[in-house]
Homo-oligomer: A and B are copies of this chain.
């Protein structure tokens, strides 16, 4: 079979047409899960799938699977996908790219009249973002058996609407049963600055960082800023500031892509001339290795207790999320690397700092991801941007990796 190339313009124009659904004045997209905009997005995707000759099924959590028959049609499919829902003020590429790239691979094969041994599927997972209904990665989590379907269907949004009613409301509560997946590839914008910073086109994703999230309560004593000498204070913000710097130190000290972030901090009473008596803050620790992540947690706990003693405050740490690191399938990762190499694209190994549907899929199928750069590393933002050339390059890598995995017809 001669080497095929995807049609970068067709991919771009599909992304732009999809981005009109839920378009915001600032150039972003608001296509929150299970809303009318989400339905409209799903229906455009479904129409394109039918036009491409694909067979569409929807499962009980609203995940969509568009299937292209293979020569050995009983073989488990090679799946490509991502999600169509966005953040309330999201961009055009987060999620949409992985679905549209999968569709573009299918269109390219159709145009060439190429057949694959294993069937192919394009998946659009329900509610990856988690901004309306918790948890994030809902559809892929249910598919992978991480979350029990019946329980998830009863989750409610802030208006009290259940997932089940919202699915029925847009007509996307289907009856497809979970099925075996031969391999899963997800193309995605990086949502981080590394590829751009290193002038690299393709990120060969090794896996995803594990995460441990903490809620922290620092309790000291409110006091007048004027009459209270420094040595008699029990300043909760001072302790919180010290802990914030220590979280940064811990992330800088440990190996294996360690990250540490204090993203949320709330001061009480938060008045300019009152020594703060209470601070609520969060800590987000990430690492590629589970054992290193656990060491970071121990170090955080030890440091917090030392600060509490020094500042005469109490510090309570409560772990609220634990998400183990994911390691993608080495053989598939190697296919992504080889495809990039073969296509003459600059590439580098990278670990995903964020979770994607792929981290649940990798629990039930060999999985790999392909990252492409996004401008300034900015995502979850209306100004999210990626270049047509990079998106096309990632899609070509996807095509080659999928063909290699699904197998092509004998000549």
Q: Are B245 and A377 touching (Cβ within 8 A)?
A: no
A224 closest partner in B (C-beta): B191
State how many copies of this chain the complex holds. 2
Known: A211-B226, A286-B225, A286-B226. A232 touches B193 (CB 8 A): yes
Any B CB within 8 A of the CB of A241: yes
Closest residue on chain B to residue A265 by CB atoms: B267
CA distance A368 to B143 in the complex (A): 76
Interface residues of A in 270-301 (CB under 8 A from B): 270-276, 282, 284, 286
Asked if B263 and A265 sit within 8 Å, CB to CB, the answer is no
- For A232-252 the 0/1 string (1 means CB < 8 A from B) is 100101101110110010011
> In the complex, what's the smallest C-beta–C-beta distance from A90 to chain B, in angstroms?
13
A113 within 8 A of B: no
Distance of A224 Cα from B242 Cα, bound (Å): 22
Is A194 positioned at the interface, with any CB of B under 8 Å from its CB?
yes
In the complex, A221→B377 CA distance in Å? 10
| Chain A: interface size category | 35 or more
Beta-carbon contact of A381 and B226 below 8 Å: no
Task: For the complex, give the distance between the alpha carbons of A237 and B265 in Å.
Answer: 9
Question: What separation, in Å, do the CA atoms of A270 and B98 have in the docked complex?
Answer: 29
Q: Mark A213-227, 1 if CB is under 8 A from B, else 0.
A: 100000001111111
The residue of chain B having its C-beta at the shortest distance from the C-beta of A267 within the complex is: B265
Q: Residue A408 at the B interface, CB < 8 A?
A: no
Nearest 7 CB-CB pairings of A with B: A192-B227, A226-B353, A227-B353, A241-B241, A226-B354, A225-B261, A241-B244
Given A224-B377, A225-B263, A227-B352, 12 further pairs, Cβ under 8 A: A194-B227, A224-B354, A224-B379, A225-B261, A226-B352, A227-B377, A228-B353, A235-B248, A237-B262, A261-B272, A264-B272, A265-B267
Residues of A whose CB lies within 8 Å of any CB of B are 190-194, 197, 209, 211, 213, 221-230, 232, 235, 237-238, 240-242, 244-245, 248, 251-252, 257-267, 270-276, 282, 284, 286, 352-355, 376-381
- In the assembled complex, 5 residue pairs joining A and B whose CB atoms fall closer than 8 Å, in A order, are A192-B226, A223-B378, A224-B377, A224-B379, A229-B257
